[in-house]
Structure 1
């Protein structure tokens, strides 16, 4: 069984080089829990010091996010581009990723914009967010920021034939990402594929050295919002727990229901937080116990 949901369509009229989206299947791709952890440690709360009316900020999960109540979607980005109009655009990114296929759809939407797009990586552009970053005509990255590339990552269960079918189905999407990364960086496709296999994090200087970015962002353009950092890390814990439960064979709805049920355990906070589960001071302890039962 593969985790499925409705996927966005391939957007008509995209410039040459638009990435493919699933046509015959509707598959959701995830960001590994290891990346969520590194985002929480290294990039949570990093924001731009100032913004303008031609800036699109992506400081959230890619795809609709149950836990934050937000998420960056192709539909939202399309609406923002329409509001900006026929002008140059800046895209500010600090995201661990999320749904790879939603990221591809956003990449295609940005590729349709007729004017120049400058992408600025504020803290991290990992997984699906790194695909979005490649849509920029110019890419700038903080010296202490990171670009992470990897193969499309999904959760699937079944026998060896099911696994072989899933692997074969994913291969063209990984190859498409190799082509996009290679076209921007000028690096050999085989080297790109090896970096994706290894789940590679590139610091700002390495991203520039390897051709993924044109320049480093000045440090005075970045700041850490402590409130946003605390919120990012709190919601990230819930995303990681959901992913662990899905990997154990539960559906996303089952995983979410189980986590929400923990709010009713002795000692859990009684006030309803702004986002489901976020801000519960005792919830982390309950989640730790749940994780122990999942990973035995």
Structure 2
């Protein structure tokens, strides 16, 4: 698994163009009944609703709620359980940036659906896991605009940087050109769990869906996660951890064809790195 530094999204809400409710088709596919496997976990943030406040019920996943949850968690690692059809783009951007800025390791588990704004939130994870039967959907931003043809043209122009920002985030995670991510968005692309992993938008299946093997690749990926966890416990900033792990992954892949290393070797490397950095 290659960890990359995800770009921040810096946008302000336009005065005449507002975020819109998710496509009804998304709501039909959203399975609200899914819940986190361990409700007792003290480091798990559950996002199992639309993104943004629901004006009718007062429910929904808001940036304010997530900020409070992050402040209350004292663990060295954070797990985000995600099942959402999306919703308010700007709330999703705020949550994405909060998770990205947190120095602790963040694991996102897509339990059912991560669509629209929820798929942006998923990209904030150092590791993104998805159910084998899970889904991810990416598309261009939606708005409601009122006015004449000039107003419509202005609204379309206003949305261009929003779509470009999302494409950059998807591209950074998947390791593709932003144009490719933009093409996914233009086509309103639905990814199954295996397709999301193949595209690079997710790193692995949920633990229950993973078939453990003794392959070198599998050992190396688990070792990199352990290294990241150890570095996080030493208060190494996430940006530094990602850069170090990206370098290690390149070294690992280069060495694999000559002399595969055992998982314990990577643990020794992690401890050596920690001693050097501290």
* TM-score (norm. length: structure 1): 0.65
Check conservation: 1:20, 1:173, Cα contact below 8 A: no
Q: Deviations over 1:34-58 (max 9, x none)?
A: 222222xxx3312222141000000
User: Tell me, what secondary structure is at the counterpart of 2:181?
Assistant: helix
* CA RMSD across the alignment: 1.9
Rounded to whole Å, the distance in 2 between the matches of 1:92 and 1:138 is 12
The structure 1 residue matched to 2:129, chosen from 128, 137, 140, is 140
* Range with bigger deviation, 64-73 or 92-101: 64-73
Number of the residue aligned with 2:37: 49
The structure 1 residue matched to 2:201, chosen from 206, 212, 235, is 212
After TM superposition, list the pairs within 5 Å mapping 1:194-209 onto structure 2: 194-209=183-198
* Displacement of 1:110: 0.9
Rounded to whole Å, the distance in 1 between the matches of 2:91 and 2:20 is 9
The structure 2 residue matched to 1:158, chosen from 130, 147, 156, is 147
Number of the residue aligned with 2:25: 34
**Residue 169 in 1 paired to residue 158 in 2?**
yes
Number of the residue aligned with 1:121: 110
**Residue 110 in 1 paired to residue 106 in 2?**
no
After TM superposition, list the pairs within 5 Å mapping 1:186-201 onto structure 2: 186-201=175-190
Check conservation: 2:123, 2:173, Cα contact below 8 A: yes
Number of the residue aligned with 1:19: 9
User: Tell me, what secondary structure is at the counterpart of 2:69?
Assistant: helix
Check conservation: 2:82, 2:108, Cα contact below 8 A: yes
The verdict on how the C-alpha distance between 1:24 and 1:38 changes in structure 2, with shifts beyond 3 A counting, is closer
Rounded to whole Å, the distance in 2 between the matches of 1:23 and 1:166 is 12
User: Tell me, what secondary structure is at the counterpart of 2:130?
Assistant: strand
Check conservation: 2:53, 2:59, Cα contact below 8 A: yes
Check conservation: 2:43, 2:73, Cα contact below 8 A: yes
User: Tell me, what secondary structure is at the counterpart of 1:66?
Assistant: coil
Q: Which runs of 4+ in 1 moved over 6 A?
A: none
Check conservation: 1:62, 1:71, Cα contact below 8 A: yes
Structure 2's unaligned 5+ residue stretches are 211-278
Rounded to whole Å, the distance in 2 between the matches of 1:171 and 1:85 is 39
* TM-score (norm. length: structure 2): 0.69
* Displacement of 1:20: 2.0
Rounded to whole Å, the distance in 1 between the matches of 2:173 and 2:18 is 27
Check conservation: 2:196, 2:202, Cα contact below 8 A: yes
Number of the residue aligned with 1:95: 84
Q: Aligned residue pairs: how many?
A: 204
Q: Deviations over 1:154-182 (max 9, x none)?
A: 12222211111001101001000000000
Rounded to whole Å, the distance in 1 between the matches of 2:6 and 2:188 is 27
The verdict on how the C-alpha distance between 1:38 and 1:166 changes in structure 2, with shifts beyond 3 A counting, is same
Rounded to whole Å, the distance in 1 between the matches of 2:119 and 2:103 is 21
Check conservation: 2:108, 2:128, Cα contact below 8 A: yes
* Displacement of 1:68: 3.7
Structure 1's unaligned 5+ residue stretches are 1-14, 222-296
Number of the residue aligned with 1:178: 167
Rounded to whole Å, the distance in 1 between the matches of 2:161 and 2:139 is 14
After TM superposition, list the pairs within 5 Å mapping 1:199-278 onto structure 2: 199-219=188-208
